Chain A
Amino acid sequence: MDEDTEIMRARDFWGALVLMGLSLFFLWRTMDIPLWGGNRAGVSSAAWYNSAAIVPLGIFLALLALSITLLVISIRAGGAQRALTAVGIGWNTAEAVRFSAIGVILFFFIVGLVPRVDFVLSSGLLITALTFGFHQGLRHRMGLAAGAVAFCGSYALVMHLPQSEWAAHDDDWVTLIVWVALTVVMLRRAGGDRVLKAVPYIAVIAPLVLVSAMAFGFRQNVPNRGGLLFKQIEYHYYVTIRPIWRS
């Protein structure tokens, strides 16, 4: 067996355990759905074949059986022995740091920033952070980029958790300041790197064009319509620009 297959079997060991856990959990949850003798809104679901539980029950039993099969294959191939070492599952520190940094950035962008902060500002910060953090593959830059997004995201989350506070603008200002600061740091370290020098333009133009196209071209909902910048864009689109061709 080659090295890649051995690593895969070690990963399979953990994968099978997780799948078994999930199958058992959802089988237990399936027990909440009436399988025999249920009655919903006057409709009898007394027969097993009429139950809403019958198909999920089959799916999770099959999933459990396949997970056990995967576990057996993994153990027979020596996966269990290798599974307890980081090397065994082919996971090294550099990859763990890279994945964690991206995970933090995406989590705080989606959960913290998008609902609460102006979309142009949050997307600009995301583009700057991802490109600056991962272009050269330097670990300290990944940390700085992840820290910048995590700071803005957690500020927005902590200060304005409930939906009723999502229209507040202080988190927009914090994001703008951090974005500008990160851009300055990036440009200072850019040297002759053409990619990093182009990032500020891309980070402003791309979200601006996308959000405007979606809101005014396709007339669709966009995140955080009351955001610091978008509110102004929307106002001037309807009050200043649109009347020009309307009249």
Chain B
Amino acid sequence: MDFVLTQLSGFAGAFTDLALDPLTYAYLIVSVFLGITFGALPGLTATLAVTILTGFFGNKIPLDYSLIALLGAYVGAIYGGSYPAILLNIPGTAASAATAMDGHPLAKAGRGGEALGLTTTASFIGTLIGTIALLVFVWLLLLLSKNIASPEKALLALFGILLSGTLMSEDLVIKGWIAGLIGLAMAMVGLDPLLSEPRYTFGWSYLLSGFQVVPVLMGAFAVPQIIEGMRHMNAGQVIQPMGRILPNMAAIRRYMPTIARSGVIGTGVGALPGVGEDVAGWVSYGVGKSVSKEGSKFGKGSLEGLLSSETANNACIGGALIPLLVLGIPGSPPAAALMGAFKINNIIPGPTIDPEIILRVVAIMVLASFTMFIMGLFTARVFIRILRLPQVVFLPIVMVLTTIGSFSVGGGINDLYLMLGVGFAAYFMNLLKIPIAPLVIGVILGGLFDETFRRSLLISGGDLSVFALRPVAAILLGLNVALVLSQVPVVKRTYMKLSGRTG
């Protein structure tokens, strides 16, 4: 009970501080608006919104405002993707792909206004569910994580990279692992963290400090998007929503169990390292379809289907922040961009993070969700107009934003060369269906893995059993081994045979 009261009073203090500061609202309104705009424009993503704003706000304003700007954009962008999904049948972000399944049929049936009202409410409730889970679980996990040392950290970092590689691969799982390894390899460039030994610098002094996170993020997420999006496209016909965009409270009450279930699923999926809002939306949609009495109506304009995906993708945000804040492992690609912002502010997410920051993150999430809800209901027409903009108009501006954002973070012109190189490489990786998110997570966690792995060996005098004899390390090692073995064909076949025999 004491724990809950302490949590609530801490949250109330952080919330009051932020709510009484007028600048909070200025940053919230601008960032949520930008986030919804990024989400609503097909071709721009939530990850890109957070990445670009990291370049602008990451280390140029006080941390609180920086977090408001980035989290506001994150929440707004995930919600904003539902506009084109419903009105154009084109998901604005991958997170809204499942929303289009039922949202667009509803819009075609003249219920676009109702669908937008419901997605706004579902996104709002979903964000709050994720945020509550963040407030509760982050502390429980922080208490547990106090006991983890270098071996556990190294295995956790490896698990994060492997798991994101496994779950983010659209094609072969090894492609996700390859992406993670490329990211890890990139993190090896520069002076090594223990002996200051230069590695792969090729005599270029810029590389001594290693690859900077922001240009890598910009290159990995923005440049391929620009290359891919610069093509002639016939803009689809925007279906104008009839009537006012208001939440259908009767439907919300009726489907509250669905909303609650989707919120929990979204939060849980978000908590898995590297797995983003798109997976959360689809998993929740799939579960909803299989357990609902109206499952046969899914895909034909079902309100329950719409609520299942839209609640989950926003709930995923809070979930994705749990491993980021507790373990320093991003739970989704936008969370990886957010981690870049933490890094350039010299904040190391993980067991040693200042608890005040966590409380402020929770308070900002609550404020951002309210801002999103109000903007969604009262300024929806503005975002519907934005949908008509062709990609070839805004992508060049994104390139200029990316350039100036990446340049100003610190490394100057060399950061731009790095950004361009990573961008072209990421474009070809997209062609090969090698996922980009594990690469970015590898770059971010590579330094931590290198340092903690070697420190573990240093302390144990080179005894590898240090990774197996400590209880938590043994569990993590088991998870890593199981994850790899689960993808080996021989093991898969044996498992299938055994499970078939016992079943």
A interface residue numbers (CB < 8 A to B)? 8, 11-12, 15, 19, 26, 29, 33-34, 38, 40-41, 43, 45, 47-50, 52-56, 59-60, 62-63, 66-67, 69-70, 73, 98-99, 102-103, 106-107, 109-111, 114-115, 119, 123, 126-127, 130-131, 134-137, 195, 198-199, 202, 206-207, 210-211, 214, 218-223
Extra 7 A-B pairs, beta carbons < 8 Å, given A38-B197, A52-B199, A218-B408: A56-B199, A59-B188, A60-B185, A73-B174, A103-B227, A109-B403, A134-B392
State A56–B447 Cα separation when bound (angstroms): 11
Of A55, A131, A221, A223, which contacts B392 at CB under 8 A?
A131
A59-B185 in contact (CB<8A)? yes
B400-A55 in contact (CB<8A)? no
Of B417, B420, B423, B432, which contacts A11 at CB under 8 A?
B432
State A206–B395 Cα separation when bound (angstroms): 12
B396-A127 in contact (CB<8A)? yes
CB closest chain-A residue, reference B450: A55
Of B400, B407, B432, which contacts A207 at CB under 8 A?
B400
Using known A-B contacts A52-B197, A66-B174, A115-B413, determine if residue A210 contacts B404 with beta carbons closer than 8 Å: yes
CB closest chain-B residue, reference A44: B195
B185-A221 in contact (CB<8A)? no
* Nearest-Cβ distance from residue A100 to partner chain B, whole angstroms: 11
State A210–B56 Cα separation when bound (angstroms): 10
B197-A135 in contact (CB<8A)? no
CB closest chain-B residue, reference A74: B172
A54 — which chain B residues lie within 8 A by C-beta? 454, 457
Using known A-B contacts A202-B397, A222-B407, determine if residue A52 contacts B227 with beta carbons closer than 8 Å: no
B109 located at the interface, meaning its Cβ lies under 8 Å from any Cβ of chain A in the complex: no
Using known A-B contacts A26-B200, A210-B404, determine if residue A59 contacts B181 with beta carbons closer than 8 Å: yes
Could you list 22 A-B pairs, sorted by A, with CB under 8 Å?
Answer: A11-B431, A12-B172, A12-B432, A49-B457, A55-B450, A63-B185, A70-B172, A98-B230, A102-B227, A106-B226, A106-B399, A106-B420, A110-B417, A110-B420, A114-B403, A130-B395, A130-B396, A131-B396, A199-B393, A202-B397, A210-B401, A218-B60
A49-B392 in contact (CB<8A)? no
Of B195, B412, B462, which contacts A48 at CB under 8 A?
B462
A56-B185 in contact (CB<8A)? yes
Interface centre among A15, A52, A56, by most chain B C-beta atoms within 10 angstroms, is A52
A45 — which chain B residues lie within 8 A by C-beta? 195, 197
Of A103, A110, A136, A195, which contacts B416 at CB under 8 A?
A110
Of A26, A107, A126, A210, which contacts B185 at CB under 8 A?
A26
A70-B195 in contact (CB<8A)? no
B462-A47 in contact (CB<8A)? yes
State A33–B200 Cα separation when bound (angstroms): 9
Of B172, B232, B413, B458, which contacts A134 at CB under 8 A?
B232
A214-B399 in contact (CB<8A)? no
CB closest chain-A residue, reference B456: A49
State A55–B451 Cα separation when bound (angstroms): 9
B177 located at the interface, meaning its Cβ lies under 8 Å from any Cβ of chain A in the complex: yes
B175 — which chain A residues lie within 8 A by C-beta? 70
B419-447 CB mask vs A (1 if < 8 Å, else 0) is 11001100010011110000000000000
State A48–B464 Cα separation when bound (angstroms): 12
B390 located at the interface, meaning its Cβ lies under 8 Å from any Cβ of chain A in the complex: yes
A123-B403 in contact (CB<8A)? yes
State A40–B433 Cα separation when bound (angstroms): 42
State A102–B326 Cα separation when bound (angstroms): 41
A195-B392 in contact (CB<8A)? yes
B396-A221 in contact (CB<8A)? no
Using known A-B contacts A66-B178, A107-B420, A137-B231, determine if residue A50 contacts B195 with beta carbons closer than 8 Å: yes
Judged by DSSP, the binding face of B is helix
A223-B404 in contact (CB<8A)? yes
Using known A-B contacts A198-B393, A202-B393, determine if residue A99 contacts B227 with beta carbons closer than 8 Å: yes
State A241–B416 Cα separation when bound (angstroms): 32
B188-A106 in contact (CB<8A)? no
B158-187 CB mask vs A (1 if < 8 Å, else 0) is 000000000000011011011001101100
State A243–B401 Cα separation when bound (angstroms): 29
B251 located at the interface, meaning its Cβ lies under 8 Å from any Cβ of chain A in the complex: no
B196 located at the interface, meaning its Cβ lies under 8 Å from any Cβ of chain A in the complex: yes
A111-B457 in contact (CB<8A)? no
A107 — which chain B residues lie within 8 A by C-beta? 420
B184 — which chain A residues lie within 8 A by C-beta? 59
B454-A49 in contact (CB<8A)? yes
B397 — which chain A residues lie within 8 A by C-beta? 127, 202, 206
B194 located at the interface, meaning its Cβ lies under 8 Å from any Cβ of chain A in the complex: yes
A29 — which chain B residues lie within 8 A by C-beta? 200
A47 — which chain B residues lie within 8 A by C-beta? 462
A55-B393 in contact (CB<8A)? no
Using known A-B contacts A15-B432, A66-B178, A70-B175, determine if residue A220 contacts B60 with beta carbons closer than 8 Å: yes
A63-B174 in contact (CB<8A)? no
Of A11, A26, A214, which contacts B56 at CB under 8 A?
A214
State A110–B232 Cα separation when bound (angstroms): 24
B396 — which chain A residues lie within 8 A by C-beta? 126-127, 130-131
State A175–B324 Cα separation when bound (angstroms): 45
A103 — which chain B residues lie within 8 A by C-beta? 227, 424
* Nearest-Cβ distance from residue B453 to partner chain A, whole angstroms: 6
State A53–B457 Cα separation when bound (angstroms): 14
A222-B408 in contact (CB<8A)? yes
* Nearest-Cβ distance from residue A104 to partner chain B, whole angstroms: 12
State A66–B174 Cα separation when bound (angstroms): 7
B434 — which chain A residues lie within 8 A by C-beta? 15
B399 — which chain A residues lie within 8 A by C-beta? 106, 109, 126, 130
A63-B393 in contact (CB<8A)? no
State A53–B185 Cα separation when bound (angstroms): 12
B491 located at the interface, meaning its Cβ lies under 8 Å from any Cβ of chain A in the complex: no
